[in-house]
């Protein structure tokens, strides 16, 4: 099965594509570009900010995801991830391990286009736990 991915690189670039071999334990994975199905690139985790697993590639750019933790039904720790570029991600995570390459986080907004994200620790400024 191919996952729909929107990959944010540390340099600010964004790539969209499909992958069948993403693994948090690996150093890289392969992605087929949305705009060029014949293009299969190796993506190295060390170059990334985050990997977003999405419902669709279009999304709704006018929509702003909720950051209200009382609206979530997801289990796990309530956290706010602050990236070095200033972006904040509000979500829940079962495991926050800053010693590994990264960790998975689920958005708190159930209507978000993001299904889950794998955030890369080397681009995270802080992780704040919310009670």
d(CA 46, CA 39): 21
> What pLDDT is recorded for position 3?
96
Task: Give which of 10, 112, 2 is closest to 59, Cα–Cα.
Answer: 112
pLDDT digits (tens, 9 = 90+) for 76-102: 899 999 999 999 999 999 999 999 999
**What is the pLDDT averaged over residues 111-122?**
96
**Phi and psi at residue 70, to the nearest 5°:** -75, -15
DSSP string, 79-129: EEEEETTS-EEEEEES---TTSSEEEEEES-TT-SEEEEEEEGGGEEEEEE
pLDDT at 72 over 90: no
* Cα–Cα dist 21/23, whole Å: 6
């Amino acid at each position: 099965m191919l996952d729909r991915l929107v990959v944010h690189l540390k340099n600010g670039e964004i790539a969209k594509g499909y992958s069948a071999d993403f693994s948090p334990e690996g150093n890289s994975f392969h992605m087929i570009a949305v705009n060029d199905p014949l293009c299969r690139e190796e993506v190295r985790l060390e170059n990334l900010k985050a990997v977003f697993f999405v419902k669709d590639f279009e999304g709704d750019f006018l929509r702003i995801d909720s950051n209200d933790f009382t609206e979530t039904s997801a289990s796990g720790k309530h956290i706010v991830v602050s990236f070095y570029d200033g972006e904040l991600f509000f979500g829940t995570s079962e495991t926050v391990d800053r010693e590994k390459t990264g960790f998975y986080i689920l958005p708190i907004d159930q209507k978000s286009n993001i299904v889950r994200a794998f955030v890369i620790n080397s681009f995270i400024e802080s992780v704040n736990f919310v009670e």
